[in-house]
Amino acid sequence: MKALRCRVNHLLTGKVAALAGTVHLSGIAKQVLAGRIWCGEQGLHGDEQGDRLFHGGPDKALHHYPREHYAFWRERIGARDLWSRPGAFGENISTDALGEHEVCIGDRFSLGDALLEVSQARQPCWRLNLRFAHAGMSRLVQQSGKTGWYYRVLQSGWVAAGDALVLLARPHPQWPLSRILDVLYCRPVEPDLLHELIGIDSFPPSWRGMFEKRLSSGRLEDWAKRLDTPSADVS
C-alpha cells in the first residue's frame, strides 16, 4: 500500500442559517476552529445541517474539500470573496495536496485520535448555485470531478488543525474517487463496472441502490432535481 499522509490545515463547522438571502436553511457557511474538537459519529461537535434528509448523518459525517481546487474555480467562474478563506464548499476538513485522484473509496485514515473511512464522493446540489451566485455551479462541480468527499467516523476522538491525516488501509486501490465519478457522470452504462461497484460494501446503501437501479434500467439518472435551483430562487 502506498504511504499517504498530509497535514490538515483547517477544521471547520457551521450553524444553520438562511442561505444567500433565501428561505432555504443551510449549514454550508463554515467557520475555522481553533484548538481540539470532538469528532463523533455525526461529525465535528457543533456542526449543523439545514436539511438532514440529504446532508449529514453517519455516512456524511465529515466533508473534505481540497483547497488547491480553489484556483481552478477562480479561473472558471471568476473572483469571489469565498476564495480568500477555507470553507467555500462547506467543507469540514481543508487540506492541500490531496485530491480525488489520490483517495479511494473505503480508504481508512487516522486523524488525531479518530479513525475515518471514505464513504462516498460528494453529489453536489443546487445550494451551490446560490452559495456562489452562479446558476450552473452545481453542474460544473459534478462535471469537473472536483467534488470533495465524505467520511464516516469509525472511531470517535479528539482532532485538531495541524494533525496528520494518515492512510492506514486501502481495500479498493482500483477505485479512486476520480474513477468512480467518471463512471457515475461521464460514461455510458457499463454492467461489468456496475457489478463491481455494487460489491463494494464501503458505499452506503443509497449508493449501492443507485448502481443497482442503473444496472436494471440500463439508463443514467436524471439529476435535474438535485442540480437545478428551484425556480422561485432564480432571478
* Domain 5-187 homologous superfamily, CATH: PK beta-barrel domain-like (2.40.33.20)
Query: What is the dihedral sign for C-alpha 14, 105, 145, 126?
Result: negative
Cβ-proximal residues to 85 (8 Å cutoff; 6+ apart), any chain: 32
Quote the pLDDT of residue 196.
97
Residues in the chain with pLDDT values less than 70? 1-2, 52-54, 232-235
CA pair distance 11, 157, nearest whole angstrom = 14
pLDDT digits (tens, 9 = 90+) for 114-130: 999 999 999 999 999 99
Nearest CA among 64, 26, 30, 22 for reference residue 152:
64
Shortest CA distance to 164 belongs to which of 12, 40, 5? 5
Average pLDDT over the chain, rounded to whole? 95
Q: What is the CA radius of gyration of the chain?
A: 17
Buried b (16+ CB within 10 A) or exposed e, 92-130: bbbbeebbbebbbbbbbbbbbebbbbbbbbbbbbbbbbb
Domain ranges for the chain, please list them.
Answer: 5-187
CA 162/CA 144 separation, integer angstroms: 29
pLDDT at 232: 58
- Tens digit of pLDDT for each residue in 62-79? 999 999 999 999 999 999
